[in-house]
Amino acid sequence: MNSRNNRERKILYIRQSLASLADNLSAPYIGYYFASLSGSGALQGLLQLSVNSLPTITQVFAGSWLDRTRRHVTLLLATSIAASLLWLVIPLTLNPYALVGLITARALAVGVAGLALTALIAEIFGSDERGSILSNVNFAAQLVALPVFALTFSWNPNLETLRFIFIISGLISLAASFTWISMLSIERRIRRQTTQLSLLATSKVFKDKTFTTFVAANSAYSFAMAVAWPLFPLAQSYVFLMKISDLALLNILSSSTTMISQYALAKRINGSNLKTLIVFSRAGLVMFPTVYMLAHDPLPIFVWQALSGPFVAIGSVAIPLYAMETADPELKASYLSYLNLFQGVSASLGSAVGGFVADKLIAMKGWEGIRYGFALSATLRMVALLPFLKIKKLQSIQGKY
């Protein structure tokens, strides 16, 4: 490993650590915050639909632009600053519809930044390093998140205090954004090495059967998974009567085991069968709505959150890595953007269905009716595992199947 790669790794780890500090002060509680201002399942569904569909549609254009220009760091700098400024604006309104727009705008900036970051990792590191880099970046973020969650748990802020915390997040995030300036030299190096692509070059993506089969399977599961998303904050607020400190404890438990799992995964991901890892990860996520469906107090939810780390960690690395290893070397960002597009659109539809179902169930059976919505999501998740059995085996280090 040369000194240049060492420097690039350090910058990535430092930036993601700072970004994690900012985001984990606020982002895990935005759904709860929104649910406290509006108990409408339909509005929760609208929020989930918009934050999942619009950012991923934008990513398609961003992915094509990145493959043609290789301006990953420029885009990261711009979107990171935009996302930071939106944290400063969100506390200024209590109107649920205005909040939908602001939260969606921030999700758009964060989504494009996430695409650019993953594509940058694929661009500057070899196939034998990408899996461990992704795992270590996630590990660094989780490591910083733990004391943040512990602070929130002990503090237990109210809604008014959350608004102040959003501002603190914006300021820290803004400072973290400027770390990308130190990587502009990397962007210039990448651009000198690249070839010019036509606008039609991304049509190759849809001719790749391995990739399209994987996208179809991942999209089906994303729909099933998202049905539960509008239900979680409603159940936390109105069924289990959780406080913000309870949500912080959930994050502490999840982050601890996810962090440990990311560290272990970084050591073992190279050469692993990505198909097996993905199926294992998605099977584990069936438990989230199942536990919420069956629990009558928060204790089982806390227990499962502590056990969920391996499934979350593996999915967050194996899914984008599968797309990277399948991708045409000149079209990495486009492959990732289309993966995110279909995943996001499917999740948006699932969220809309979940929000609509939640309102119907609440109207018929009160807040306890949400449990039937969780049962629906768990069932759909189990059925949606089947398409993953049809994807091809792929070794992470070789990019061959």
In the predicted model, what is the mean pLDDT of residues 289-308? 94
Q: How many CA atoms lie within 13 A of 316 on its CB side?
A: 25
Which tokens in the block code for residue 129?
């390093």
CATH C-level class of 3-193+205-390: mainly alpha
Mean per-residue pLDDT, 252-279: 85
Which of residues 299 and 203 earns the better pLDDT score? 299
**pLDDT for position 399:** 39
Question: Which pLDDT score is estimated for 1?
Answer: 46
Q: What percent of the chain shows pLDDT beyond 90?
A: 30
Selected residue with higher pLDDT from 396 and 376: 376
Q: Which of 200-204, 291-295, 345-349, 353-357 has the lowest mean pLDDT?
A: 200-204
Q: Which residues contact 149 (CB under 8 A, 6 or more apart)?
A: 24, 28, 248, 249, 251, 252, 255
pLDDT of 397 > 70? The answer is: no
What would the pLDDT profile of 61-100 be if each residue is shown by its tens digit?
888 888 888 888 899 999 999 999 999 999 888 888 888 8
Residues in the chain: 401
Q: Which two tokens stand for residue 64?
A: 């094509």
Band (pLDDT 50/70/90 cuts) for residue 219 is very high
Backbone angles phi, psi at 182, to 5 degrees: -70, -10
d(CA 312, CA 137): 14
Query: Residue 290 has what pLDDT?
Result: 97
The pTM assigned to this predicted structure is: 0.73
Task: Kindly tell me if the per-residue pLDDT of 280 is higher than 90.
Answer: yes
C-beta separation of 324 from 122 below 8 A: yes
Chain position carrying tokens 């758009």? 108
Measure the CA–CA gap between 292 and 370, rounded to whole angstroms: 9
- How many C-alpha atoms does 127 have within 13 Å on its Cβ side? 18
Sign of the Cα pseudo-torsion (301, 143, 50, 350, in order): negative
> Going by C-beta distance under 8 Å and a sequence separation of 6 or more, which residues neighbour residue 112?
55, 58, 59, 62, 75, 79
Q: What would the two tokens of residue 34 be? A: 């929104």
List the chain domain ranges. 3-193+205-390
Contact criterion met (CB below 8 Å) for 70 and 187? yes
Model pLDDT, residue 191: 60
Residue 326 · residue 394 · CB < 8 Å: yes
The neighbour count for residue 94, using CB atoms within 10 Å, is 11
Q: Is the pLDDT of residue 398 over 50?
A: no
pLDDT above 50: residue 238? yes
pLDDT digits (tens, 9 = 90+) for 17-36: 888 888 888 887 887 788 77
Query: Does position 401 have pLDDT exceeding 50, yes or no?
Result: no
400 has pLDDT over 50:
no
Concatenating the DSSP letter of every residue in 45-85 gives HHHHHHHHHHHHHHHHHHHHHHHHH--HHHHHHHHHHHHHH
Amino acid identity of 342? F
pLDDT single digits (tens) 114-161: 888 888 888 887 777 777 888 888 888 878 878 887 777 777 777 788
pLDDT mean across residues, the chain: 84
Please report the pLDDT score of residue 379 as a whole number: 97
pLDDT in tens, 154-174: 777 777 888 888 999 999 999
